[in-house]
Structure 1
Amino acid sequence: MPSRNLVLVNITIVVLAVFLDQAVKALVVMTMELGEAIPILPFLALLHARNTGIAFSMFADTGPLGLALLAGVVLVAVLYLWVKTPPDRKLTHFALAIVVGGAIGNLIDRLLLGYVVDYVFFHTPLFEFAVFNLADSFISVGAFLIVLDEIVLTPMRERRIKRQSASD
Structure 2
Amino acid sequence: MIRRLMLFNLLTVVLAVVLDQVIKAVVVATMPLGSAIEILPFLALFHARNTGIAFSMFADLGDVGLSLLAAAVLVVVLFMWWKTPAERRLTHFGLAVIVGGAIGNLIDRTRLGYVVDYVYFHTPAFDFAVFNLADAFITVGAAIILLDEFVLAGAGRKGAAERRGD
- TM-score over 0.5 for the pair: yes
1:58 maps onto 2:57 in alignment: yes
1:46 maps onto 2:45 in alignment: yes
Question: Matched residue of 1:121: which SS?
Answer: strand
Show structure 1 runs of 5+ residues with no match.
none
Tell me which amino acid in the other structure corresponds to 1:45. Answer: A
Tell me which amino acid in the other structure corresponds to 2:134. Answer: A
What is residue 69 of structure 1 aligned with on the other side? Answer: 68
Q: Deviations over 1:114-149 (max 9, x none)?
A: 000000000000110000000000000111111111
2-side partners of 1:11 and 1:3: how far apart? 12
Tell me which amino acid in the other structure corresponds to 1:32. Answer: M
What is residue 157 of structure 2 aligned with on the other side? Answer: 158
Q: How far 1:160 sits from its partner (Å)?
A: 2.4
Pairwise CA RMSD: 1.2
What is residue 116 of structure 2 aligned with on the other side? Answer: 117
Q: Deviations over 1:2-58 (max 9, x none)?
A: 812111110000000000000000000011000000000000000000000000000
1:9 maps onto 2:14 in alignment: no
TM alignment of 1:16-165, pairs within 5 A = 16-164=15-163
Q: How many residues align?
A: 165
2-side partners of 1:87 and 1:164: how far apart? 24
2-side partners of 1:17 and 1:161: how far apart? 35
Q: Comparing 110-119 with 156-165, which one deviates more in the overlay?
A: 156-165
Show structure 2 runs of 5+ residues with no match.
none
Q: Which runs of 4+ in 1 moved over 3 A?
A: 161-166
1-side partners of 2:9 and 2:150: how far apart? 22
Tell me which amino acid in the other structure corresponds to 2:11. Answer: T
Tell me which amino acid in the other structure corresponds to 1:90. Answer: R
Question: Matched residue of 2:87: which SS?
Answer: coil
TM-score (normalised: structure 2): 0.96
TM-score (normalised: structure 1): 0.95
2-side partners of 1:141 and 1:8: how far apart? 21
2-side partners of 1:75 and 1:11: how far apart? 15
Q: How far 1:165 sits from its partner (Å)?
A: 5.5
